[in-house]
Amino acid sequence: MKSRQSWAELYAFEVDRAADAPVFRQIYQQLRLAILSGTIRPGTNLPSTRELAVRIGVSRSAAVAAFEQLLAEGYASGKTGAGTFVASDLPEPFAAVHGRKKQSTSSAKTATSSREPGGFGDVTSQSEERPFNLGRTLVDARTAELWRKLSARSLRSFGCHHLGYADPHGMLELRKSVSAYLQAARAVRCDAEQVVITAGTQQALDIVIRVMQGPDKEVWIEDPGYSLTCLALVAAGAKVCPVPVDQHGINVTQGIRCAPRARAVFITPSHQFPKGVVLSMARRLELLAWARESGAWIVEDDYASEFRYGGRPLASLQGLDDGERVIYIGTLNKALFPGLRLGYAVVPASLVRAFVTARHLMDRQPSSLCQTVVAAFMEEGHFASHIRRMRAVYRNQRDALIAALRHRLSDHLTVDPPDQGMHLVAYTRRGLSDVTVERAAREHGVIVRAMSRLYVEAPVRSALMLGFSGYPRQIIAPAIARLAQVF
């Protein structure tokens, strides 16, 4: 059933003629945000362009151009004689990212968040198993067998250190292994004291947010960026300032212009999520200088650096930091498997206590049994060989996916082959909407994520994100054949 109940919300929308963005784009962005946030519900009959133009005092052509953009991107659908409707199958994991932002068209781009519960969208979509979902990993027979053996060994020595409350900081043996690994592989400057074991990136982000203390803190996020970072910040009442990402990574100058006194910046410098670009050295230095001068924290999410397939290895940003401004976050949930729920943060000495206390207040400590198994896995050299083997497997799967996409879909998609990571980005051609493809692909049993959903304010680029790490070579070609039917 079509509904018009939420259309009244649009009366609050504004157009700023002094803003850089053209009027049609402002209307489009506001409608898109309202749709993604659920303010205007799926199936809602939008007003005619004439009606809208009169309501908000713009030319009819601006309203038409805004609607055309929404139609092209699949946010709306048009029916001759029946008007334009908000697409009825839009609830998506990333919707809430946009939805938490206050609508803004003025030159001040800092988004204000709301703290009411709900409206988080479907954040469970990563549990979807079909190809080519993001963030999935494979574990080969060797690792599986070792895991069984090490778990059995840990259980055999099941003693008081497994049974009771333990150090919320994390098990010392594991912290030592993580510290040695990060120094060698990522040029991170740290000792075991600075390493805090977490349940993964998501918990580390949550702890950072708590340690920053209090709502209404301004923070920069990448635009486009990782939706779960943005959601966690917004849920905590932070004021999120989306900073555009170009081919050199986050645009630091624009960040400073947008929120010079921001408390923190959340970034993925080694392999920007989702675009896959690397933060240039010039930008790294600019960012560090700003953080030093302003006292801001840089939160470095180094989520997939284990899987680098070519080019020079890239050191962490934390390793360049003389001023103790970087909080480095890594995860074992990607290097091993997401169900593990273990990761770590490397924290400047001045923050360790606050960090450990926050962790303790959240859920006391990591599971002792899991930590014992992982510590042995690392200590005995299995982690390094697991990474080496899986790197080869994922490279192979990446190549198979690129070949299949180029073979079947080169008329519709331009593939950007990644040097690193677990997903690739394929830009749509000829104005094809990634949202439309995403939706149709799902009906053919294929999961592709529309990158446009990860944008907040920066001009959207239509592209599909395809995860390759979780899918053996033999299922890649048939899945791409199914995807090809969509086009």
Ligand X SMILES: Cc1ncc(COP(=O)(O)O)c(C=O)c1O
- The binding site for ligand X (CB under 6 A) comprises 134-135, 200-202, 226, 268, 273, 301, 303, 331, 333-334, 338, 343
Q: From the CB of 318, what's the least distance to ligand X, in Å?
A: 15
263: phi then psi, degrees, rounded to nearest 5:
-80, -30
Closest CB to ligand X among residues 74, 242: 242
* Residues paired with 299 in a beta bridge: 266, 327
Q: From the CB of 126, what's the least distance to ligand X, in Å?
A: 6
Distance CA 258, CA 243 (A): 8
DSSP letter at 47 equals: P
Question: Which residues, at least 6 apart from 4, have a Cβ–Cβ distance to it below 8 Å?
Answer: 44, 45
Closest CB to ligand X among residues 34, 196: 196
Closest CB to ligand X among residues 74, 244: 244
The residue sitting closest to ligand X, measured at its beta carbon, is 200
195: phi then psi, degrees, rounded to nearest 5:
-85, 125
Q: From the CB of 90, what's the least distance to ligand X, in Å?
A: 22
Closest CB to ligand X among residues 103, 438: 438
Closest CB to ligand X among residues 134, 401: 134
Closest CB to ligand X among residues 134, 437: 134
E strand or H helix at 263: none
> 10 Å Cβ neighbour count for 313?
11
Write b or e for each residue in 394-403: b if 16 or more Cβ atoms lie within 10 A of its Cβ, otherwise e: beebbebbbe
Q: From the CB of 338, what's the least distance to ligand X, in Å?
A: 5
User: Beta strand pairing status for 218-223 and 264-267?
Assistant: parallel
Distance CA 99, CA 358 (A): 28
Q: From the CB of 347, what's the least distance to ligand X, in Å?
A: 16
The CA-based dihedral angle spanning residues 73, 79, 82, 83, taken in that order and rounded to the nearest 10 degrees: 20
Closest CB to ligand X among residues 41, 334: 334
Tokens of 180: 């040695």
Q: From the CB of 88, what's the least distance to ligand X, in Å?
A: 28
Q: From the CB of 446, what's the least distance to ligand X, in Å?
A: 19
Sign of the alpha-carbon dihedral angle for 388, 389, 392, 393:
negative
Q: Are 373 and 150 in contact (CB under 8 A)?
A: yes
Question: Which residues, at least 6 apart from 213, have a Cβ–Cβ distance to it below 8 Å?
Answer: none
Closest CB to ligand X among residues 74, 224: 224
Q: From the CB of 324, what's the least distance to ligand X, in Å?
A: 23
